[in-house]
Amino acid sequence: GNSVTQMEGPVTLSEEAFLTINCTYTATGYPSLFWYVQYPGEGLQLLLKATKADDKGSNKGFEATYRKETTSFHLEKGSVQVSDSAVYFCALNTGNMLTFGGGTRLMVKP
């Protein structure tokens, strides 16, 4: 079956630090890959996506590249802000069925 594994949190960084949240997946077929973000007290927002190998999704300074050879979709940001503090979920979709990772809490300190 499909599965998504992401690094456990919390990840605590100082403002302007570089962020990497690792995500690897197991899937049959050719999944689309997603990062969702959940700010405190809110629902899930789509942060970025990639639908085929070597695609790079980007939004709000965040980037992730679909790496088929390593089955990975790591999330990166060059300089985090306090406002980026949230829970980040990696997910895949092979056709109507979203499979989520466990979520990674990011805490950014001023």
**Can you tell me whether residue 83 is helix, strand or coil?**
helix
Residue ranges in contact with other proteins by CB under 8 A: 32, 34, 36, 42-46, 49, 51, 89, 93, 95-98, 100-103
Complex with other proteins: residue 41 or 110, whichever CB lies closer: 41
Complex with other proteins: residue 9 or 17, whichever CB lies closer: 9
Q: Which residues contact 48 (CB under 8 A, 6 or more apart)?
A: 34, 35, 57, 58, 59, 62, 63, 64
Supply the minimum distance, in Å, between the C-beta of residue 15 and other proteins. Answer: 25
